[in-house]
Structure formats: C-alpha cells, structure tokens
Amino acid sequence: MSEVSEVPKESAEELVALAAEAYVYGYPLVHDLSTVEDFMQTGSGPLPPAPFNHFAHAGRPAPADTHFVPGDSDTVLSIAHLDLSGGPVLLHAPGTDGAYYVLQFVDAWTNNFAYVGSRATGTGAGDWLVVPPGWSGSVPDGPRGVIDAPTSVVSVIGRNACNGPEDMGRVRALQEQLALTHLEPGTHRTGLPAPDPDVPESLRFYEQLRVWMADFPPSAADQAYQDRFQPLGLLEEGPSPYVSADPALLRALTEGLARGRARVEEASRPAAAGGGWEMDPHLFDYNLDRHGVGTVDSPQWRIADREAAYPARAVAARNALWGSHGYEAVYAHTARDADGEQLNGAHSYVLSFEQQEQRQPPVEAFWSVTTHPASGLAPGVVYGEGGSPTVHIRRERPDDPAAAANWLPAPDGDFRLVLGLHVPGAGILDGTYEIPAVERSGEQ
C-alpha cells in the first residue's frame, strides 16, 4: 500500500498549507500543458489546431482579449509546440528584410529560455537546432546555433510585425517559410502523458501535477524545493495515490487547492501605474536558471528570492501565459480616462503625446494601440509638427482628415486600451517614462 494512502503524520493544517504551496508552485506547469493540449486539439482564436512539431499560423493580428499571449493590432502570431522526446528538431527562420519578428521559446514550466529574432539575433534567415535535455549528439554543419531546451516539450511563440491588412501577404509568405524538421529518426509522441482517469475530479489538478512533474522535471534547485511535497503524494511514481486517497489527505488537498487558487487570484490583481495605465516590465523575471540564445542573463531580469519567484510565475501564467520578457515587449493597458472614469464608446477620447519630453513612446522596434474589444490603429500614423502623434478614439470616423488619419475605432459600451511596446527603451523599463492619460474630448 502506498504511504500516502495512510493518515499523514503532519497536522491537518500543515497539510492544507503544504497543498496550497504546491498549487502555487505547480499552477504554471499544469496551466501551460493543459493549454498546449487544448491548443493542439482545438486551436484558439485566429490560430487553428496543430500537432506537435508543426506551426499554426494566424491569418490576422491576435485580439487583445486572447487568453494567452498578450495581443496587439500590429503583430500576427505563429505558434508551434515541440516534442523533443524523439530527438532534436531543426527550426528554419526566414529573413524578414529588417521587419520586426520574434520566436520566443518557453519551457513546460513557462520559463522564457531563448529568443530568436530582430532584437536577439537579427533579421537574417537561419536554422536553429533545438535539442532535448541531456542530448549529447553531434551538431551538423549549417545551424546558426543550438537552443538547449530545459524540458522535452516546449512552445515556440512567433510574432511578425504587420503594417495593416495590405501587409498580410508579406507576413503569410514568412509564415510559410517557417519550418520544423526532425534531425534524427525517432519516435515523437503525439500527446502528453495522461493522468489517471480514475482520479476524482476534485484531485485532477494534483494528479496532473504529479504526472507532469515526473515527465518534465524542473531545474535542480526547483527539484530540491519540490521535495517538500512528498507528504502530498506528488512525488509518487507508478499508480496514482489519488484514486483511493485517505480522507485526511483528500480534505487537505481539496482545501489547499481552494486556498492556493485564491492566493494566485488575489496576487493577479494589477497595480495601477501613472496616468491610469497598468504594466509590469518585470512580470517574467521568475526564470532564474535557464538562459539561452537571445536572453538577457543579468540580475536586473531575475527575482532575487527563489521562493518569491514561484507566486510571481503563477501570476504571469494566469495573466499572460507565453508573454515575453520586458526587454522584448511590454503591454500597458487602461480602462480609465484622466478623470478616473470608465472608457466607453458613448464618448470620444484623445491620447496625445504632445506634452511628453519624448514625443512618442520610447521603443527600439515599434508601438501600437489597440482597443478591447479589439480594433487597431490604422497604419500610417500622422505626426504633428513636434513629431508627436495624437490618437483619436471614438466610434465614428472624424471629419477632420488629420484626426481621421490617427483614428482608433471605439466599440460600443465599455472598453479598455492596450499599448504594445516592442523592444521598449530604458524609460519604459525603469519607470521614468509616464504614458499620457486618455483625455475625454467632449465630442460625441
């Protein structure tokens, strides 16, 4: 009989507290792989389903309410989930003639561990060899570099800049050139390890965590931390200890799950920034161990306290799964005007950068504004005499040609704005740049 089927020696409260810790610690892994599984079966939004080691391409920019990957009006997604259990995969990235793109690599624990693209490696074409943990084969001639995957399943999140509908032909041509090929003959699985179907639904989260922790082990430092969860049965191998769990353990896991979930939800509430805008350039700083091609491995981009990184990782997974490090992109959002009133399509607004010392957001790539429900600012933004743009947000197209050139259609009812900042400058990252507030214009 498994040890965890007997009454644990720990007190009831200690077990509940431990189960809550395990929920916070394991939430990113379970949420990530559950999303991968769903994605491969049904796709999401503008992205069709695709099996392992195949790209799914969107035919339009991702809406701002995409439940993973922050979306904006000027990038088009391409996503692939790689299974490396049968050996390395060769990824071909086409050249973009200077246009912005990024391929972001995310492991099963949601660590962003590598980047290929404009900021990280340039816009030229090239092949990259993605290898599984512990691989010791020979690298063939040709690839620009090797990307060491920390887990045997990883997600590749691609974004191509798109300058309006007329630019989609160029983007589609780039998408068609993205290619994944197996380097060696081998068996690649078609699905994820399956939890025991006889486990009660109330314990399904912990069963998924148990199975997936075993198949996708974390870094050595994290493994040492997760040893504390032994009394919960999470380190048991073989038959699931949760099919006929002891009532005391069942109660502890059930109460711990509710407590852990509440903890993550509470921590996920964003704090308002200047001008009513909310953003966190350091949302993804929880990766402490896995820094590969294109990452910035410095204390500035790492949470100092490992145990503080676990709840931070859970918040990032819940709020913006597969989002990138702040040095690649930051997404600010607001639902309030300068007077603190909810944005609503019954009113007209302006977002003006004229009073800023820097006449537009400081970025090295580009910026965009999107409403949610989603519509985007048309390409070809017109700048004023001082080089600053004024965005006009309203339901109807303005009569004034200059205002119409910078018109962002507003939806009916309440909405929020998303400001995408790609390769943000120092002012964004250190908080010295204040995004201007959205002013109500008085026009109807």
Domain regions of the chain by residue span: 3-33+192-267
pLDDT-derived band of residue 7, with 50, 70 and 90 as boundaries? Answer: very low
Residue 269, pLDDT score: 82
Residue 3, pLDDT score: 45
Mean pLDDT within 54-68: 77
Residue 401 has φ and ψ, to the nearest 5°, of -60, -40
For tokens 């290619």, the residue is 179
Quick: pLDDT tens for 320-358: 999 999 999 999 999 999 999 999 999 999 999 876 566
Distance CA(385)–CA(102), nearest Å, equals: 33
Residue 373, pLDDT score: 81
Mean of all residue pLDDT scores within the chain: 91
pLDDT-derived band of residue 64, with 50, 70 and 90 as boundaries? Answer: low
pLDDT-derived band of residue 385, with 50, 70 and 90 as boundaries? Answer: low
Helix 247-267 vs helix 12-42: crossing angle, to nearest 10:
70
Quick: pLDDT tens for 193-209: 999 999 999 999 999 99
Q: Which amino acid is at 125?
A: A
pLDDT-derived band of residue 273, with 50, 70 and 90 as boundaries? Answer: very low
Residue 10, pLDDT score: 67
Residue 1, pLDDT score: 39
Quick: pLDDT tens for 65-96: 555 566 667 899 999 999 999 999 999 999 99
Beta bridge partners of 375: 371
